[in-house]
Structure 1
Amino acid sequence: MKKLIPFLLLLIISSCNKNNTKIDRTEYDKAYGFLKNSQKDSAFKYFNKAKDDFISQENFSYAGSCLVNMAIIQNDYGDYYGSQETGLSAIKYLNEKEDSYELSSNYNSLGITFQNLKEYNKATQYYSLAAKFSQNATDSLTHLNNKAVAFSYSKKFDSAISLFNKILNYPNLKKQPILYSKVYDNQAYFKFLQDKNYNAENELLGALKIRDSINDNWGLIASYSHLTEYFESKNPQKALSYANNMLHFALINKSPDDRLNALKKIIFLENPQNTKTYFKKYQALADSLQTSRNKSKNQFAFERYDSEKLKRENLEKDNNILKLLVGVATLIVVIIFTVVGYRRRQLKLKQEKELEVKNTQLKMSKKVHDVVANGIYQVMTKIENQEDFNRDMALDELEFVYEKSRDISYDKTGEQKEFSKIISELIASFNNNTVKTFTAGNSPAIWESVSPTVKEEIYQLVRELMVNMKKHSQASHVAVKFEKANNIVDIQYKDNGVGISGDLIYNNGLRNAASRIEAINGTITFDTKIEKGLKVNLSFPVS
């Protein structure tokens, strides 16, 4: 095990401590103050505000720095996908020559994110970039140590040990005892993982002695963790003693993840009559940590959404009132003539068609619209918005649409994976350079006890809303929030598009949405009275 939190905190504080008196960094300094006081939720909020200010001032270096810090905070809270998105968005604001320190910090954070997601090959790539942009040997060697750890977790032990040796051979490395003991301990530990017969005791104890002599509490947690695993089968009583030492320093460092890890080791090693107490502590801590992280993930998502919405509104208020009125009036006239002309043409075409359509034809038309049209539109959206969307994936998506269309006559339905992931991927597929999508509360627990038939209706309903947004709303931000209480599932859709003016006009998609929610005994409400955009509230009972 290897602790990265102290290094991340150092990167955050160092990156925050810029000195430029020519720009307005009020919000930035507030964020830095909250960070020094370990109030990371508030720090994230003000870094986000500062980022918007810097972009409006065209000070992109500081904007990128804010995003780097936000990504690291998200990483600390376990919001790995959010951290990944934020960190990648920071790169476009940073200059390779002028912002090498921020780039190094950002690439290291991305490496940690991918490592936590068990994508070790990507982690090693980002650690290499972090080392490339490092401004001093210590940082570079630290990033290479992280790379070696990622090699080890992907079972590339030979590459890892070779890299550890390269670092240990660096001149005067022993004069940096924190880094030296870290690399020395990691090398011994992963040699043991590669070969359980390897005698790593003296090396592991040597690293422990160095860390103890310099009061490196984070390093001591790692040493005691490695020693616990080493003696687990050789001397369980000694391993239990080391696990308790690990728990002690995890409490001192206020590290809940290390406390969980230590408690897990103690439960495994302790006498059966004593494990119940430790298991209760483990369960309570795990539940508390999960609740806290879920809350932070939702907060980060809506903080970004609300900030983008507020920035857009403030920019609009700065426009000239007369130009705004003229523009709106012109737009209204154009819309009226367009709608009137379109409806006349549609009416004429409709009168030329057959007056009656058989019920079976209506049902088939509805299914083709839902399954084929929307399915193909979703694939087109992915191909349009994702640069790395490869050919094989596109063929798989099209094959899925083909299978669904072929099964229409048999009324086949089915779930291929966790429904919460299906819904999240559906919403995320509409995310691009002009439209940002946000999802909150979509946990697997929401969909427990929901029947496959109802899930199918909800999937088609959400896709109908997103497709209508893409085609008609001109929105730049879309948020979908899921909640479940008292056996009622509530879904809140919000966008900042043009909304629906006047009486609600049901097009094919909205009429399908209404009929779908009625079919599952649910309700749908369209809020057209908000200042801007569209808000749709859906709810349905869970049996």
Structure 2
Amino acid sequence: MSFKYLYRFLLLFLLSSTHVLFSQTNSEIHKKTTALTQKATQLMKTEKYEESLILSREALTNAITLKDNNLIALNYNTIAANFDQLGEFEKALFYYKKAIVHANKTNNSHLKNWIYNNLGNIYCFNKKEYNKGIYYYKKSLDISTKIADSSEILFTKLNIAWAYFDIQSFDSGLPYLNYVNKYHPKNGDTSTIVALNMLNGMYHSHKNNSERATFYFEKAIKLGEKENEKSDLSFTHQEYAKFLYKIKNYKKAYEHLNAYNKITDELNNEEKLRKLNIAGINLEIDEYRREIDNIKTEYKTSHQLLLEKQSKNRLYSIIIISTLLLVIVFSYFYFQNSQLKQKNRIKDIESKIQENIITASINGQEMERKRIASFLHDNISALLSSAALHLTVFSTKNKTNSEEITKTKSILIQTHYKIRDLSHQLLPSLLARFGLFYALNDLCEINSNSAIQFDYSSNVTSETRYDEDFEMKIYFIVSELLNNINKHSKAKRAKLTLKQQNNQLHIQVKDNGIGFEINPHKTIDGFGLNQIKARINTMKGKFKIDSVPKEGTTVKISVPIEFKI
């Protein structure tokens, strides 16, 4: 569900709530708190989230002093909304929950309604925990029903229908969709009309009603283009493409998939490169699918010609028939062998598609890790340090040490350290500064605890450096393997061994855990291992896993070394 609706209604609510708060008391501290809350809201509207967070936290401190649950809930909600817009959904969830605790101690039904809606959005569309999300939506719906707010009832039921449809629970979502269809002309607005038509399209697609599904999807697209509702329009193109693919209208499905990618690029320019990679993958997928279709068509044509030839040969003499029988036997085995080769070729193509998708996803993640870590460290962290320094100079020159300046300096310093830690998590500083082997040795020490000991062994010195991207790939591969051991192996001891030999880096990770059975005819289970295998394949390396139940697991990897230029 688009955050645009949530954001617009939240801002309207915050503005109206702060206006009411001004008339509640003439107390100076109450006026100051209300003013801070209003200012924090305005800063959030202009996307100055860090400044908004500082003011809303100061207002929260005052509100707690006043023991005003309405102000406390309002400021917790503002803090949560800031983190929501920043994409830090765990923090947003934490503060939304604090907000609802205090809101439930007031008679502010509108505030409670929107906090419950916000919780529903977080759980459904960020954490993908739909049962919890729908629970909070229904709490919001109960409040909207009690206060007889028709527009909020309509909006919340639209959210519930969307959540149910997202998990393919169409029968559960249908009553809510029917309500919205019935009352939208009276209580709805243009901001939700695109989403409504898209949901109708999804429902009729589920019911295999192609004519009605097409009508609603195309109507949603037309309205989305007219109203410039790009977020819902992109979702509509995506769902329409799924429906068209389902009915085997591949050409049109591809067109709408391209439209979805284009609009998504416009909505989020920072992810433009990742979207282009996805578009490239889609092109490769279509090329491979066309190749598969050509292979199957060629096989069917050849098989049909053979049957016609066999039919004509039945008219010949017994000798010719006997000869023909030998030809048929030979042809049978020949075509069986060809069919087997074609099936293997199809499997190879599908495997390559999957590897390309996984590789593109990992490359995008690593690129984003590096870019975000660099931006946090070189820009945000530097700005915070500079701000703290300016405050220190100001305090020294003016010989003042007010509580507000002290708190502001403390907040800036804490934020600086948190951003630095986040930067190091995204791209470990040890890896960047001292190299792969130093970082892997440190990784083994970090993962060791009272339950499991990770040993490290290498015939390569810690000072050895390879290509930066190569080191980063190897680091995250080993990190994932150690993480799997911690989570699943129940081992008490594990060992990481590294060897450089003939321009190849040999990696072995061995544990004495519970192990598991390996079926040579099936692919490796676990998305993490599939990611590692795909990455090793793209690096032209080799990946092997040996495991025996109750005897532990050994993973062996060898990859060509990319030396530092």
Question: For 1:81-106, what per-residue CA distance to the aligned partner results, in whole angstroms no more than 9, with x for missing partners?
Answer: 22221111112221465322221121
Q: CA deviation at 1:153?
A: 3.0
**1:217 maps to what in 2?**
230
The CA distance in 1 between the partners of 2:236 and 2:207, in whole Å, is: 18
Aligned partner of residue 98 in structure 1, secondary structure: coil
By percentage of residues, which structure has more helix? 2
**1:39 maps to what in 2?**
48
- Asked whether 1:156 is paired with 2:169, we answer yes
**1:139 maps to what in 2?**
152
8 Å contact kept, 1:27–1:46 = yes
**1:238 maps to what in 2?**
252
Of stretches 100-109 and 87-96 in structure 1, the one that deviates more from structure 2 is 87-96
- The one-letter code sitting in structure 1 at the alignment partner of 2:239 is H
Give the TM-score normalised by the residue count of structure 1: 0.50
Question: For 1:191-242, what per-residue CA distance to the aligned partner results, in whole angstroms no more than 9, with x for missing partners?
Answer: 4357597862111001222222333233322222222322345333333332
Which structure 2 residue ranges, 5 or more long, are not aligned?
289-352, 389-401, 407-418, 429-438, 454-471, 476-565
Relative distance call for 1:69 and 1:291 in structure 2 (3 A) is: farther
Relative distance call for 1:282 and 1:26 in structure 2 (3 A) is: farther
8 Å contact kept, 1:151–1:159 = yes
**1:15 maps to what in 2?**
14
8 Å contact kept, 1:161–1:187 = no
Matching residue within 41, 60, 69 for 1:60? 69
Question: For 1:506-540, what per-residue CA distance to the aligned partner results, in whole angstroms no more than 9, with x for missing partners?
Answer: xxxxxxxxxxxxxxxxxxxxxxxxxxxxxxxxxxx
Q: CA deviation at 1:119?
A: 1.2
Question: For 1:32-58, what per-residue CA distance to the aligned partner results, in whole angstroms no more than 9, with x for missing partners?
Answer: 232121222332232222212222233
Relative distance call for 1:86 and 1:176 in structure 2 (3 A) is: same
The CA distance in 2 between the partners of 1:283 and 1:74, in whole Å, is: 27
How many residues in Structure 1 have an aligned counterpart in Structure 2?
327
The CA distance in 1 between the partners of 2:272 and 2:180, in whole Å, is: 26
Matching residue within 133, 138, 163 for 1:123? 133
- The one-letter code sitting in structure 2 at the alignment partner of 1:47 is S
Give the TM-score normalised by the residue count of structure 2: 0.48
**2:59 maps to what in 1?**
50
**1:114 maps to what in 2?**
123
Asked which structure has the greater CA Rg, the reply is 2
The 5-angstrom pairing of residues 253-268 of structure 1 reads 253-254=267-268, 264=278, 267-268=281-282
Relative distance call for 1:456 and 1:288 in structure 2 (3 A) is: closer
Which structure 1 residue ranges, 5 or more long, are not aligned?
307-312, 318-437, 462-483, 488-543
The CA distance in 1 between the partners of 2:11 and 2:223, in whole Å, is: 27
- The one-letter code sitting in structure 2 at the alignment partner of 1:66 is N
RMSD over aligned Cα atoms: 4.6
Aligned partner of residue 457 in structure 1, secondary structure: coil
Q: CA deviation at 1:157?
A: 1.8
- The one-letter code sitting in structure 1 at the alignment partner of 2:121 is I
8 Å contact kept, 2:165–2:173 = yes
The CA distance in 2 between the partners of 1:170 and 1:221, in whole Å, is: 25
The CA distance in 2 between the partners of 1:6 and 1:64, in whole Å, is: 21
Of stretches 119-128 and 210-219 in structure 1, the one that deviates more from structure 2 is 210-219
Q: CA deviation at 1:169?
A: 1.6
The CA distance in 1 between the partners of 2:366 and 2:161, in whole Å, is: 29
The CA distance in 2 between the partners of 1:444 and 1:213, in whole Å, is: 41
The CA distance in 2 between the partners of 1:86 and 1:184, in whole Å, is: 34
Q: CA deviation at 1:126?
A: 0.3
Aligned partner of residue 38 in structure 1, secondary structure: coil
The CA distance in 2 between the partners of 1:96 and 1:440, in whole Å, is: 37
8 Å contact kept, 1:96–1:103 = no
8 Å contact kept, 1:11–1:105 = yes
Relative distance call for 1:444 and 1:222 in structure 2 (3 A) is: closer
The CA distance in 2 between the partners of 1:99 and 1:289, in whole Å, is: 42
**2:2 maps to what in 1?**
3
**1:185 maps to what in 2?**
198
- Asked whether 1:226 is paired with 2:239, we answer yes
**Comparing both chains, which one has the higher relative contact order based on Cα–Cα distances under 8 Å and sequence gaps of 6 or more?**
1
